[in-house]
Structure 1
Amino acid sequence: MQLPFVIRAMGYAGLIPFVGLALSVQFADSPNDLIALESLVAYGAVIASFLGALHWGACFRTIGQNSHNRWLDHSVWIWGIIPALVSWLAIHIYIPLALLLLAITLIVQRLIDQNTYQNYFANEETANAFLRMRTHLTVVASISLSWAGVVTLLGNY
């Protein structure tokens, strides 16, 4: 099963800033390379926060249901806010470490979501299609963030 075109298009379009800014860190002249670094941290923080917020949306959907649902467990609500807190930290620390922290955050989110996304969708086929796309997006975003972080640490920008 494939996700609707608009979902795929918007998801993959979201990679443009990751790739474009990472390339700018490597190849742009000063001060544009520094602007790209700050922009990449900001964009990575926004995306990580957004992905955490997806959990809250799923939790709110279950409020008021009579049967117990694991979405109401405190751990899911807590996990939903952790990416935003990590992102907030990332925008205040040394930029190369911030980029690596955000890359790790995206990877951890994807691993945790493997077990939780089944609750977002009406059927397993749709959940699996979304997780496949999320895997592609996470790989490219994490490589972009890591690449920019390593390039910056090595001083090759």
Structure 2
Amino acid sequence: MPLPTIVRILGYAGLMPFIGLAFMVQLADSPNDLIALESLVAYGAVIVSFLGALHWGACFKTLSESTHNRWLDHSVWIWGIMPALIAWLAIHIFIPLALLLLAATLVVQRVIDQNTYHYYFTSPDAASAFLRMRTHLTVVAALCLIWAGLTSLVRNA
């Protein structure tokens, strides 16, 4: 079962700021490169927070029932806020480190999603399609964050 077109369009369009800002970090002169770095940290933090919130949203359908599943009854609520807390930390630390932290968080989120999203989808095909798209998005976003972070480190060394 393919994902709805709007989901694919919005998902892949969400990569444009990652790609555009990473290029600006590489190509822009000062102070525009710093503005791009700060914007990339902010956008990365928003996306990391959004991905954590997806877990909460998915679990509201079972909010009033006990599933006798540790993930759905307990852990998902804790994990759902962790990315937002990490993102909040990222906007307060050394920018290259923040970008690397956000990239690592995206990858960790994707790994956790691999083991948890089957709880949220009624169709295994839909879960597979969503996780496939998430893999594409995570790889591109994480590479952009890493590239910008390393570029910033090298440029300011």
1:74 deviates by 1.9
Instruction: Give the ranges of 4+ consecutive aligned residues of structure 1 lying more than 6 Å apart after TM superposition.
Output: none
Alignment check: 8 A CA contact 2:103 2:142 kept: yes
Distance 2:67 2:75 in 1: 18
Output one character per residue of 1:26-48: Cα deviation in whole Å (capped at 9) or x when no partner.
00111111100000000000000
Alignment check: 8 A CA contact 1:41 1:99 kept: yes
Matched, 1:82 2:86: no
Matched, 1:2 2:20: no
2:19 equivalent in structure 1: 19
Gap change, CA 1:28 and 1:58, over 3 Å in 2: same
Matched, 1:38 2:38: yes
1:49 equivalent in structure 2: 49
1:126 equivalent in structure 2: 126
1:65 deviates by 2.7
Distance 1:23 1:89 in 2: 24
TM-score, normalised with respect to structure 2: 0.95
Distance 1:72 1:107 in 2: 21
Distance 2:66 2:149 in 1: 47
Output one character per residue of 1:75-118: Cα deviation in whole Å (capped at 9) or x when no partner.
11111010000000000000000000000000000000001111
2:103 equivalent in structure 1: 103
Alignment check: 8 A CA contact 2:67 2:73 kept: no
The alignment covers a number of residue pairs equal to: 156
1:4 deviates by 1.3
1:112 equivalent in structure 2: 112
- Bigger shift: residues 52-61 or 143-152: 52-61
2:119 maps to amino acid: N
Distance 1:51 1:66 in 2: 24
2:146 equivalent in structure 1: 146
- Bigger shift: residues 30-39 or 129-138: 30-39
TM-score, normalised with respect to structure 1: 0.95
Gap change, CA 1:25 and 1:63, over 3 Å in 2: same
1:63 deviates by 1.2
The share of aligned pairs that are identical, in percent, is 73
Gap change, CA 1:24 and 1:67, over 3 Å in 2: closer
Please report the RMSD computed on the Cα atoms of aligned residues, expressed in angstroms: 1.3
